[in-house]
Structure 1
Amino acid sequence: MEINSSACTLALILFFVILSYLAIAADDDKLGASFIFGDSLVDAGNNNYLQTLSKANIPPNGIDFKPSGGNPTGRYTNGRTIGDIVGEELGIPNHAVPFLAPNSTGEAIIYGVNYASGGGGIMNATGRIFVNRIGMDIQVDYFNITRKQFDQLMGPSKARDYIMKKSIFSITIGANDFLNNYLLPVLSIGERISESPDGFINDMITHLRDQVTRLYKLDARKFVIGNVGPIGCIPYQKTINQLSENECVGLANKLAGQYNGRLKDLLTELNDNLPGATFVYANVYDLVLELITNYDKYGFSTATRACCGNGGQFAGIIPCGPTSSLCQDRDKHVFWDPYHPSDAANLLIAKQLLDGDTKYISPVNLRQLRDL
């Protein structure tokens, strides 16, 4: 019997088309949106659109950020934020678009939206020294707008499914509530006289519980919430307190530790009380402290001096800008500027959050959270 070669060819083409379609469909099954809330550690450019004293859209910020060709984007680092790296590793093709950016509409939001703002905090008063910033309450209000846009884009049923089952909500906030609120003498002396550290932290936890519950009511189900890092060890704190290389500011770290204990308890409570949700605790404090303590083990030459900054022993007083001194070996510095980690440090932190064990991320890591 004679076989028609063109029919064979057509059948083969159809077979490969179907295979590639199935591969894409399987891949799509893993993709979802990355919704990022927080402060300057994860701001991807929202503050560019605010009249604020806290901005990073000036060089040399972003000097190693490949998508912009090394131009500043409003990220407070030389390259990517932890949120950028996590999104890339989880297979999300585009970085989450800043909510305030003009292009954050239509299809652009499918892979996620970034609401984070330099200077923002859990408490509404936090960061008022910068004049404008977006606190966590407003960030949740903004997500409410995005949530309605997803209904319009996908239809209510598909949108709900996409947000509940495939999307991850990451929250990196709390450091400014100490650095630019409770510990800032100019703004908070009255508050510190009238409110004990326990009382202030209690207020933070109460506010965060309400904010996260609001997101849950808007169909958020997969959460990762970072604790507050060792804020007493950042170049700014070490410089203004005139500490030696191996010292950190005790009070700042003690407050962070107290808050972190309460946060862990809160996430256990929310895991028990909000059906269908998974709350993951990211132990940023221990992760960053490990990099600072054993910096040479990870290929860094310093964990005290800012790569980009000016003033004092550790270039830790004046934020990074065009007139700052700039190190040449950027990947050898744990800190990019007086406050924020470098791309190299962010990469190491992100890797532990993605694939690490329960010492740094619990009850599951981010790759496991994606696949739940």
Structure 2
Amino acid sequence: MESSRRVAYLVLSIILVNWTCLAKAANNTGLGASFIFGDSLVDAGNNNYLQTLSKANIAPNGIDFKASGGNPTGRYSNGRTIGDIVGEELGTSNYAIPFLAPNATGKSILNGVNYASGGGGILNATGRIFVNRIGMDVQVDYFNITRKQFDKLLGPSKAKEYIMKKSIFSVTVGANDFLNNYLLPVLSIGARISESPDAFVDDMINHFRNQLTRLYQLDARKFVIGNVGPIGCIPYQKTLNQLKQDQCVDLPNKLAAQYNGRLKDLLAELNDNLPGSTFVYANVYALVMELITNYKKYGFTTSSKACCGNGGQFAGIIPCGPTSSMCSDRSAHVFWDPYHPSEAANLILAKKLIDGDTSHISPMNLRQLRDH
């Protein structure tokens, strides 16, 4: 009698455990896969596998990244990127895996794949100063490979539904097209003489239209596109131009604002012209500017000095590496290094994109997009 009761308890326990696992899986079905495209703001380690001058797989990068035990992963941050945090908050059980990582095969890709690359841009010439990087055209080519893998893993009809209905495509790109192309003194002086800002932005928008349309043709339907942030306010630009703490460089910010206006129009056009698509515009410029201007309100002590870097008043010339000086309280800095936000800043930005109102993200936020 006692042993049969034990068996009954054991069976009941197994059933309950299975139910719990199924319930968790059901909750996680909210977001199937997170596909991440873009530049170093969201690169999760693709550049580790390239012969490139743009790398972040050196200490102290990743010092606060719990999943690696504080070891560098190739993320250009002390911790998680915005892409990592968004995926976590929306219910994927693992971070999107870098496309070039050797373990980006089989079922590990079902949570999503990260194609982003430090130095990458919309235009193919962008970032050539780094020798190698993956621009948007090649990132879309790489997704085409993943798309075929999904057909093999799930079967064509399930794969199509999973990608169209359950997955989000996030694209954070454009800053390098200005910083490491148009505004780069050595490489672009010829381009700037021959191409006005209007013509350059036109070029970006036309290329980006094609890239996003190609993703749509590969069954992407839910998109979130980040605009270009206030690149004239990053520690690198402020140090280079010897500005005061509360000043930003005018030209890069003007170019970003000009592109952002055109980007908003492009997304409205794509929403109208590509049936069943939802293109969400993430106003990263306004969100980052708010953090930079009102940093004290968010618990930061500085929004002009890099936590990790060397050179000039704002430690803004030499990227973060083993010989860099590092601040004692990483959560008190808006910027981790001369270019990229700290994990503390990424957390605030991500939460506003996930649950924010239409002044931050429109026509809907990321939680609404997931459930749309």
TM-score > 0.5 by shorter chain? yes
Closer, same or farther: CA 249–151 of 1 in aligned 2, 3 Å: same
Task: Name the counterpart of 1:212.
Answer: 212
Query: 1:98-247 counterparts in 2 under 5 A?
Result: 98-247=98-247
Task: Name the counterpart of 1:329.
Answer: 329
2:29 and 2:91 in contact (8 A); partners too: no
For 2:60 and 2:351, the matched residues in 1 are separated by 25
For 1:74 and 1:181, the matched residues in 2 are separated by 23
2:230 and 2:256 in contact (8 A); partners too: yes
Closer, same or farther: CA 18–77 of 1 in aligned 2, 3 Å: closer
The Cα offsets for residues 138-173 of structure 1, whole Å up to 9 and x where unpaired, read as: 000000000000000110010000000000000000
2:28 and 2:91 in contact (8 A); partners too: no
Closer, same or farther: CA 189–155 of 1 in aligned 2, 3 Å: same
Task: Name the counterpart of 1:37.
Answer: 37
Task: Name the counterpart of 2:319.
Answer: 319
Letter in 2 for 1:332: A
Displacement of 1:30 in angstroms is 1.3
Task: Name the counterpart of 1:260.
Answer: 260
Q: Which runs of 5+ in 2 are unaligned?
A: none
For 1:216, what is the secondary structure of its paired residue?
Answer: helix
For 1:311 and 1:15, the matched residues in 2 are separated by 61
Displacement of 1:31 in angstroms is 3.1
Letter in 2 for 1:198: D
Task: Name the counterpart of 1:296.
Answer: 296
For 1:351 and 1:216, the matched residues in 2 are separated by 26
For 1:89 and 1:32, the matched residues in 2 are separated by 13
For 2:223, what is the secondary structure of its paired residue?
Answer: strand
Task: Name the counterpart of 1:279.
Answer: 279
For 2:59 and 2:28, the matched residues in 1 are separated by 37
Displacement of 1:13 in angstroms is 6.8
Letter in 2 for 1:67: A
For 1:43 and 1:323, the matched residues in 2 are separated by 23
For 2:121 and 2:11, the matched residues in 1 are separated by 59
For 2:303, what is the secondary structure of its paired residue?
Answer: coil
For 1:193, what is the secondary structure of its paired residue?
Answer: helix
For 1:110, what is the secondary structure of its paired residue?
Answer: helix
Displacement of 1:27 in angstroms is 1.8
Displacement of 1:93 in angstroms is 0.7
For 2:14 and 2:236, the matched residues in 1 are separated by 62
| TM-score, scaled relative to structure 2 | 0.96
Displacement of 1:255 in angstroms is 0.2
Closer, same or farther: CA 148–233 of 1 in aligned 2, 3 Å: same
Task: Name the counterpart of 2:60.
Answer: 60
Letter in 1 for 2:142: Y
The Cα offsets for residues 12-47 of structure 1, whole Å up to 9 and x where unpaired, read as: 779857854762453243130000000000000000
Closer, same or farther: CA 8–266 of 1 in aligned 2, 3 Å: same
| TM-score, scaled relative to structure 1 | 0.96
The Cα offsets for residues 329-360 of structure 1, whole Å up to 9 and x where unpaired, read as: 00000000000000000000000000000000
Letter in 2 for 1:259: Y
Runs of 4 or more consecutive aligned structure 1 residues displaced over 6 Å after TM superposition: 4-15
Letter in 2 for 1:226: G
Letter in 1 for 2:54: S
Letter in 2 for 1:366: L
Superposition CA RMSD, Å: 1.7
For 1:30, what is the secondary structure of its paired residue?
Answer: coil
Displacement of 1:7 in angstroms is 11
For 2:322 and 2:14, the matched residues in 1 are separated by 57
Task: Name the counterpart of 1:89.
Answer: 89
For 2:190 and 2:297, the matched residues in 1 are separated by 44
2:122 and 2:137 in contact (8 A); partners too: yes
The Cα offsets for residues 167-207 of structure 1, whole Å up to 9 and x where unpaired, read as: 00000000000000000011111110111000000000000
